[in-house]
A and B are shown apart, each in its own frame.
Chain A
Amino acid sequence: DIQMTQSPSSLSASVGDRVTITCQASQDIGKYLNWYQQKPGKAPKLLIYGADYLEKGVPSRVSGSGSATDFTFTISSLQPEDVATYYCQQYHTLRTFGQGTKVHIK
């Protein structure tokens, strides 16, 4: 099975800060990676597909990058509505989610 390791598990940042989350795959997955946002009590929402493609309607302050085993998710200027948990998910072989990164406002 492919394991996905996210870091950090949680972070606290101020409004306007740049926030970066990393996701590491246990083997080369090319660019077969998606990112989701989940707010409390809600279903996840797709933000990024194919490692770096922004889903329609998602603010341009959100971006993704990376390939092979190392991936990054970035919010360029954190907003209050970005408080959520973020998950990476590989689709190279079956499907696996990372353990999540909880983002708070400082």
Chain B
Amino acid sequence: QVQLVQSGAEVKPPGASVKVSCKASEYIFTDYYVHWVRQAPGQGLEWMGWIDPTNGAPEYAQKFQGAVTMTMDTSISTAYLELTRLKSDDTAVYYCAREDPRFSMDVWGQGSTVIVSS
């Protein structure tokens, strides 16, 4: 079935980088934007940005500009989220989600937990 499968949990020290992956299956990867959404422990959903898989162009929420990089590899239907210079408040679950033609996030990954701790 249509799904997004994300990479596993990561534990990183402060100042490190991490790259989370999101692999799409059973649909044409280039037909749908991929969004990234962050959820800190006990907090709400926070939109981070999207990547347009037709041209690889990202669009970031202002808060995350300069702190994250969204990329993709269409040959393996995978989107990536890289976070650099990690801080403790980057500890969160990171979700990828597909946006359908109704501008709705209709398919979500299972979430990738990133823990920033020394």
Contacts of B9 in A (CB 8 A): none
Asked if B44 and A87 sit within 8 Å, CB to CB, the answer is: yes
- Looking across the interface, which residue of chain B has its beta carbon closest to that of A95? B47
Contact of B45 among A32, A44, A53 (CB under 8 A): A44
Contacts of B109 in A (CB 8 A): 43
Asked if A49 and B108 sit within 8 Å, CB to CB, the answer is: no
CA separation between A89 and B46, bound complex, in Å?
10
A97 contacts B by Cβ under 8 Å: yes
Contacts of B104 in A (CB 8 A): 34, 46, 49, 55
Contacts of B46 in A (CB 8 A): 97
Number of residues from B at the complex interface, CB < 8 A: 21
Asked if B105 and A97 sit within 8 Å, CB to CB, the answer is: no
Contacts of B35 in A (CB 8 A): 95
Asked if B111 and A94 sit within 8 Å, CB to CB, the answer is: no
User: B88-110 vs A: 1/0 string, CB under 8 Å?
Assistant: 00000001010000111110111
Contacts of A44 in B (CB 8 A): 37, 45, 95, 97, 105, 108
B55 contacts A by Cβ under 8 Å: no
Asked if A96 and B47 sit within 8 Å, CB to CB, the answer is: yes
Asked if B50 and A95 sit within 8 Å, CB to CB, the answer is: yes
> Could you list which residues of chain A lie within 8 angstroms of chain B, going by C-beta atoms?
1, 32, 34, 36, 38, 43-46, 49-50, 53, 55, 85, 87, 89, 91, 94-100
> Could you list which residues of chain B lie within 8 angstroms of chain A, going by C-beta atoms?
35, 37, 44-47, 50, 59, 61-62, 95, 97, 102-106, 108-111
Which 8 pairs, one residue from A and one from B, show the smallest C-beta to C-beta distance? A43-B108, A49-B104, A100-B44, A95-B47, A97-B45, A91-B103, A99-B44, A49-B102
